Structure 1
Amino acid sequence: MFAPVDFIIAVVGKLRVLTIKATHSGLSDVSVQSPPDETVSVTGSAYSFRGATTSLTNKNLTSSKKIILVRHGLSSWDAESRVQGSSNLSVLTETGVKQAEKCRDALANMKFDSTAEIIWQGKEEPLVFLDSLKEAHLFFLEGMTNADATKQYPELYTRWREDSANFHVNGIYPLKELWGTAKQAWEEILLTQGENFLVVTHKSILRALICTALGLPPERQV
């Protein structure tokens, strides 16, 4: 059964919603219907969407799916201008809580943690935590202020900010690995029973989810 997959993507900070409808036209092919302009802003970066096509899973879906992607609210490290990453030491700020509450209100009529927990209040379905939705691991840069990282590791920090697809530490490329975990996340999400899914995660993995859904590699960042 070739079931449709709809993506609703909230682009944080741009006050716009981009809806991309993808349908399975073959066993593992996903094509973009009515693509947006050639480039759009997606969590801080622009990507070319022209001709994007990919396979999210090589298994048939048994029902249509609606996936709502949400970035978490403002965190303490965001507010302090620190390098984020896979660390769990950053917490949701008061502003972040308010952002999550607004998102909850906007999604109130849709059936489907700290942000996820706030949005999910009143829902009966259980929250599911996926390791494949963790943020990119940035090694010793995590937790440093952007100013300190620029001063202590100027070349490395600049590479992460300006050419993240080729950023690496000891041969490990965090962003390229993130694209792999994003594909794993899609497999887990799409093969889970149900039709409506709320995915709350971080900026880089959110970007990877969007791009892998459209068949865009990390190098397609422009």
Structure 2
Amino acid sequence: MISITAPLILPYRLLPLNRNPSFLIRSSSSLQERELSSELYASAPFPPISAAKRVVLVRHGQSTWNEEGRIQGSSDFSVLTKKGEAQAETSRQMLIDDSFDVCFSSPLIRSKRTAEIIWGPREKEMITDSDLREIDLYSFQGLLKHEGKAKYGAAFRQWQVDAANFNIDGHYPVRELWARARSCWNNILAHESRSVLVVAHNAVNQALVATAIGLGTEYFRILLQSNCGVSVLDFTPRPEGGSPFICLNRLNQTPNSPIATGSSGGRKSSRRLVLVCYGATQSNTEASGATYGDLPLNMLGIIQSQKTAELLLDLKVHSIISSPKKACSETSLAISRVQEAADCLGADCVPRYVEMKQMEHLDVESVLQQPNRDATEVSALEPGWLNGYEDRITSEVWHQSEKAWQSLLSELSDESEPEKILVVVGHPALHIALMGHCLNLTKEWMGSFHVDAGSISVVDFPDGPTSRGVIRCINYTAHLGRWSIPITRSIIDDDEF
């Protein structure tokens, strides 16, 4: 096993990201929006790569201190619980057929053990990198959460509500973490490999995802990482060289159901959006992806809709809102029928009534089918496929989806129900745009996310729909079983990737 020690971290400068140096972020303390600078914590662009690279991030399984509710940070006194070992084994099974060239791991026991279980009998190298350790929380480490609140008062409160500016023992832990995560990418991308497994921790995996796609420290706790949750990033070389194109292909695919009752970043949520992509339709081809929502589902699409309906049976859905396109309507109907049969299926003691609605603003297929001068063929299976459309088309998708987003927030704001779960059925481009609005990004970020046909993505609102949402998962497909897309499946014309 190879180990990498932490290099000296020099002061770094902040680089404006892309063409839009600022965007709006909704304050969690009020309805007022404040402008924050969107800056990438980096000392230099990402190193160039010669071939496409896929990086799979996994958080360690449940640890003894997770179970106790103790603040771990970068301490190394906890080990995996029996549940954590089982989660790691489930992740091993999830990834057993996937090909990896190398495994990078945090040196901390809980992460290293998770990596060993997942890596199994593979003979390829494992590299421990101290920069992959969990966030350094200094005096907080080892305390139970109620002890931290009692001992540190205002500082602990700031850690909960304004972590990006949280200071303890003269350190800004989240800022340090972002700089360290950026350093990790240099080591990972410099390695001569095409498919990389990285096993680390909650906060550092959040920072790895965020720094890869250009999000600052204000996004801490917004991109959820559950125990043994899997996230996937695709790095594609640019023809002109330089920093690669980066796309978040998947976020937090968990061993257990992503819609199970639980907290989002430690906070309970009574408002949730479940974004469902309809499945394959009768004229789908791999080249054209899911751009034919106005056609009926084919047999694979019907199976995908049934699998999604079964997954959502664990939730009491209030409303299903869909694009008026035929494939969306068929998917909505499948979900509704299973929800309303919840008592017969043993999921509820009484029948459920589900409200079904159609929303014109959810129909982005008509926009995408306009003549596209920038590309003769756009494949929805490739990372960043939306970048293949000309600016006029992506702008129209973005503005239309913004109207849909505001309507959905209005639906969630209805306080007549103590809990409200909305299922939104639409095209992959729609859901990518909706998540962009959730994160208060601009349309230039649309190519930085990917979702597949039949997938689900989940957004929770622990502070209510007037505040920023927490993205619980993106592009979850494990519920599709044998019809799901393998995590390291080749997405570019390369059978050996």
Q: Same fold (TM over 0.5)?
A: yes
User: Which residue type is aligned with residue 217 of structure 2?
Assistant: P
Q: 1:53 to 1:110 in 2, by over 3 A?
A: farther
Give unmatched runs, 5+ long, in structure 1: 1-29, 32-50
- 1:1-222 equivalence runs, <5 A: 57-112=45-100, 113-221=112-220, 222=468
Contact kept in structure 2, 1:52 and 1:214, CA below 8 Å: no
Distance, in Å, in 2 between the alignment partners of 1:179 and 1:58 is 14
Distance, in Å, in 1 between the alignment partners of 2:41 and 2:180 is 16
Per-residue deviation at 1:188? Answer: 0.6
Deviations 1:49-108 (A, max 9, x none): xx9999884432022101001111001100000012000111111100000000000000
User: Which residue type is aligned with residue 216 of structure 1?
Assistant: L
User: Which residue type is aligned with residue 156 of structure 2?
Assistant: Y
Contact kept in structure 1, 2:58 and 2:199, CA below 8 Å: yes
Deviations 1:87-134 (A, max 9, x none): 011111110000000000000011112100000111111110011111
Distance, in Å, in 1 between the alignment partners of 2:154 and 2:65 is 22
Distance, in Å, in 2 between the alignment partners of 1:158 and 1:79 is 22
Q: What TM-score do you get using the length of structure 1 for normalisation?
A: 0.73
Distance, in Å, in 1 between the alignment partners of 2:151 and 2:93 is 43
Higher relative contact order (CA 8 A, sep 6+): 1
Aligned-residue RMSD, C-alpha:
2.4
Which of the pair has more CA radius of gyration? 2
Identity of aligned residues (%): 36
Contact kept in structure 1, 2:59 and 2:202, CA below 8 Å: yes
Per-residue deviation at 1:187? Answer: 0.9
User: Which residue type is aligned with residue 61 of structure 1?
Assistant: I
Distance, in Å, in 1 between the alignment partners of 2:169 and 2:91 is 39
Q: 1:138 to 1:52 in 2, by over 3 A?
A: closer
Q: What TM-score do you get using the length of structure 2 for normalisation?
A: 0.34
Distance, in Å, in 1 between the alignment partners of 2:40 and 2:170 is 29
Q: 1:116 to 1:153 in 2, by over 3 A?
A: same
User: Which residue type is aligned with residue 138 of structure 1?
Assistant: L
User: Which residue type is aligned with residue 47 of structure 2?
Assistant: K
Q: 1:54 to 1:178 in 2, by over 3 A?
A: closer
Distance, in Å, in 1 between the alignment partners of 2:162 and 2:46 is 31
Equivalenced residue count is: 176
Per-residue deviation at 1:220? Answer: 3.8
Distance, in Å, in 2 between the alignment partners of 1:57 and 1:97 is 38
